[in-house]
Structure 1
Amino acid sequence: MILEFMRDDHRSCDHLYTDAEAALLAKEVQKAQEAFEAFAQATLHHFDMEEKELFLTFEKRTGMMGGPTQMMRYEHQQLRSLIESMRLALRENRHSDFFGIGESMMIMLQQHNMKEEQMLYPMIDRTLGDDGALMVQTLQDMAR
């Protein structure tokens, strides 16, 4: 339940990033900035859903304060920094920097998402059991 919902959100964020790259490659700078901002906001919202609800609930249920959720938070911080660097590069028309940072960011993001989808989300699904549907509803209710 959590796995499917969060995996779908990962895919949605990926599509927004692809839109930003495609627009910039087509020299549609304004469209690229808007698409990138949509990607950034969606990705940061995804991190918030995890950090403010999902991870906290998992940690409370399991008593596991370190481990996988701590590592995911650390990676979120790194990704936030890369997203901000990309935002600045785009704003300053440093398009080659944008693409270079973007390549690193996407590699890290794909690896991050894979760890969540293959390891963490299934653990959370098992931990929450029947409460998974309630958690999905809570995550859906979080304002974007």
Structure 2
Amino acid sequence: MSKAMMEMVKQHTECDDQLNRCEVALHKGDMASAGRNFRLFSEELDLHFGLEENKLFPAFEKATGMTSGPTVVMRGEHAEIRSLRDEAYAAIEANQAEVALAAIDTLNVLIQQHNVKEENVLYPMCGGSIPNLDAVLGFGSTCCGSCS
């Protein structure tokens, strides 16, 4: 697996960890900590989805010519995840821990199913299709031209 794909998987793990911290705080009734952790999760999620939607998916579509394939499915799932994320965040902001926990339970399931598809299907396809993948995603070393 390329450096870029390993980094994308690492981002999945970091998002999962942050969401779990939020869930622990909710179970403890620590709404302030839950809110902080959820905001961090949300920021990490947005950065990850942005990288996929703005760089990875377009590069895959260009390299393969598949514009109505797996990337369409992943974008749709991103929208579902964002919607559930917003629902959970609204519950946290309203100090409704039980409602937030229910939304996070569903969110966790959806995210795990989504990540399995990306990590086992889409990412390997990307790794085999996109030239200079590390550089495309900004994870590779780039040379300004003066290197030899």
Q: Distance in 2 between matches of 1:108 and 1:24?
A: 19
Q: Distance in 2 between matches of 1:17 and 1:65?
A: 31
Judging by fraction of residues, say which structure has more helix: 1
- 2:93 alignment counterpart: 91
Deviations 1:41-97 (A, max 9, x none): 101111111001100011011110011000000000011000000010001111111
1:1-144, aligned counterparts within 5 Å?
1=2, 2-129=4-131, 131-137=132-138
Q: What amino acid sits opposite 2:70 in the alignment?
A: P
- Alpha carbon RMSD of aligned pairs, Å? 1.3
Deviation of residue 133 (structure 1)? 2.0
Whole-angstrom distance in 2 between the partners of 1:72 and 1:87: 22
Q: Which structure 1 segments of 5+ residues have no match?
A: 140-144
**Secondary structure of the equivalent of 1:14?**
helix
TM-score (normalizing by structure 1) = 0.91
The one-letter amino acid paired with 1:44 is D
Q: From the CA coordinates, give the structure whose radius of gyration is larger.
A: 2
Length, aligned pairs only: 138
Residue deviations 1:99-122 (CA, integer Å, cap 9, x gap): 111111110100000000000000
Q: Which runs of 5+ in 2 are unaligned?
A: 141-148
One-letter identity of the residue aligned with 1:117: E
Task: Write out the 4+ residue segments of structure 1 that deviate beyond 6 Å after TM superposition.
Answer: none
* TM-score, length basis structure 2: 0.89
Percent sequence identity over aligned pairs: 33
Is the 8 Å Cα contact of residues 5 and 136 (structure 1) preserved in structure 2?
no
